[in-house]
Structure 1
Amino acid sequence: MRSAYLFTSLVLTLVLGISAKADENLNSTYKSMVDSQGNITLPDNYRREWVFLGSYQVKSSSGDGWDTHIVYTQPQAVEGYRKKGKFPDGTVLVKDVNSTQSEPLTTGLAYYSSDLQFTFMMVKDDNNRFPENPAWAEGWGWALFKPGIAKSETETWKGTGLNNCFGCHLPAKNNDWVYTQGYQQVLQN
């Protein structure tokens, strides 16, 4: 009986410890990627170290062809979503928007992402940390990065710029502003 109690206690301690570590890793978002004014910095190595959530093909805003949207997040964010059905505080979603190329291959006409046009980033904020910063609204921080620049161009996101984010994400407002339908294989696995 005592050994069963010890085993149960050990398992519970491990589960709670892992859960606390995941929460701690997401909370580090506000230490490593967001400064005290709410300015957002693109994380290093997200393409190699984070989870690939999924990708979308979206008609190019220029009207010519399609863009490939490739989305990544922290492993802990996926764990949190699987447990609670929503992205936890500190979640970062990084979306690379690339041009799309095509060419005939022996397997048929192939389409693939090519040049990076920009990177878009959302940071989950359940605590309304930056109420005076216009790049933070509706429970998220919103940022845009040009290729090769790791600091957000916050001036472009103030006022009408931030409203442009909402314009694209408005259909997903009731889903916490995120189009999760393209990520179901990862989020429900």
Structure 2
Amino acid sequence: MPDEKGPDHSRRKERSRRAILAATRALVAEEAYEKVTVEAIAARAGVGKQTIYRRWPSKSAVVFAAVLALSMDEDADGQSVALPDTGDLEADLKLVMRATAEEFAAPSFDRLIRALNTEIANDAALAAEYREKLAQPLEEAKKARLRSAQEVGQLDADADLDLVLEVLYAPLFQRWLHRSGPLTAGYADSLVDATLRAFGP
């Protein structure tokens, strides 16, 4: 008899995982979040709901896993995160901020992130996991790029990097959260310009 824990079994588990996460993203993009159920995710993915519950304890955990896999390019385990470093801080930040604005403006991503934020606001354990697995690694990657800019004199050597990131990202998040204006490339560029004026050498 074939070994149930061998390579074929591992491949089947990985296919199921990817199918579940893809189904979650698709359903959240299509439906009101409160109408999305684990049963619906299982049906869309072509698996039994117990397959989902064996891996994730709740719908919110599946949604977080879907966001994490998307953010980490479908490989959340052990993948490092890095920002571009061409030697030109302004160009690199504008590239990243434009991509961020475009991502948040995309309807499918918008609904997925709003769903995740709804769960985080009401689930302290999920908020802690989000911080550990997604927010903190991204922040450390951003700080690493800012430190390299400090080393070559493109950023104030005494700048508080946490504050730099807040000035850079918080207005974009606020505009997205409150739907108070368009998330355009021009807006992303203006945030970079303002941040560099505030924290330049």
TM-score by length of structure 2 reads 0.28
TM-score by length of structure 1 reads 0.29
Structure with more contact order per residue of length (Cα contacts < 8 Å, sep ≥ 6): 2
Higher strand share: 1
Higher helix share: 2
